[in-house]
Amino acid sequence: MPQKSVCVYCGSRTGVDPAYMAGAETLGKALAARDWRLVYGAGDVGLMGAVARAAQAAGADTFGVIPKHLVEWEVGKVDLTRYIVTETMHERKKVMFMNCDAVVVLPGGAGSLDELFEVLTWRQLGLHEKHVVVMNTNGYWDPLMALLHHVVDQGFADASLLEYLTIADDPEQVMAILSDA
């Protein structure tokens, strides 16, 4: 059986709640413990750096993809198992998604939302059937879930949209969901 690869979308900042950083580190270690490969945005800052450093320290295979214009800003982590520099953000997202079996979204900002909504839209259109797990650390994504329910309630999406996301409260729940996938 080939190695499972999990794409993690998350912030290039740490956020204000220390639980965000702790969750990223715990998830990185958990991926390594299962011998799963981390696929992520190749940055060494914020939650991105935390998940990657924890995964590496625990022996995980790491696959990072970063567009050339972010190499300095996100501090491209060149010591990964595989480090790819792309021309554009669009290419970055495509390479990351094409090299994973599932997606996990940790707390993050506009970039994480962009990545989440792109894979959610692709799922809604039937372009993939990969698991998309939202790690809702300390309720971080509760407002997003309320918005998605509003979108459905107001008739702008079918209720099936909500079935394309699985909510997990912590890294342990994320790993349990992905283990069953």
In a domain, 95, yes or no: yes
The model's pLDDT over 5-39, given as tens digits with 9 standing for 90+, comes to: 999 999 999 999 999 999 999 999 999 999 999 99
Strand ordering across the sheet containing 82-86:
82-86, 62-67, 37-40, 5-9, 102-105, 131-135, 166-168
Domain of 126: which CATH number?
3.40.50.450
SS3 46: helix
Q: Which uninterrupted H or E stretch holds 5?
A: strand 5-9
In a domain, 179, yes or no: no
Using the predicted structure, report yes or no on whether residue 104 has a pLDDT greater than 80. yes
Asked if residue 67 belongs to a domain, the reply is: yes
Q: Does 21 fall in a domain?
A: yes
* pLDDT at site 118: 97
Domain-located, residue 181: no
How sure is the predictor about 113, in pLDDT bands with cuts at 50, 70 and 90?
Answer: very high
Residue 145, domain extent: 5-174
The rounded distance, in Å, linking the Cα atoms of 129 and 142 is 24
> Is residue 180 assigned to a domain?
no
Predicted local distance difference test score (pLDDT) of residue 130: 97
Inform me whether the pLDDT recorded for 3 exceeds 90. no
Task: Look at residue 168 and tell me whether its pLDDT is greater than 80.
Answer: yes
What do you get for the CA distance between the two ends of the chain, in Å? 14
Is pLDDT of 163 > 90? yes
The pLDDT value given to residue 75:
86
Residue 31 lies in a domain: yes
Q: What is the pLDDT of residue 162?
A: 97
- On whether residue 68 sits in a domain, the answer given is yes
For the chain, the average pLDDT equals 96
pLDDT score, position 107 = 98
Q: What's the pLDDT score for residue 145?
A: 98
What pLDDT does 1 receive? 65
Count of domains for the chain: 1
**Region 101-128 average pLDDT:** 97
Say yes or no to pLDDT of 76 above 80. Answer: yes
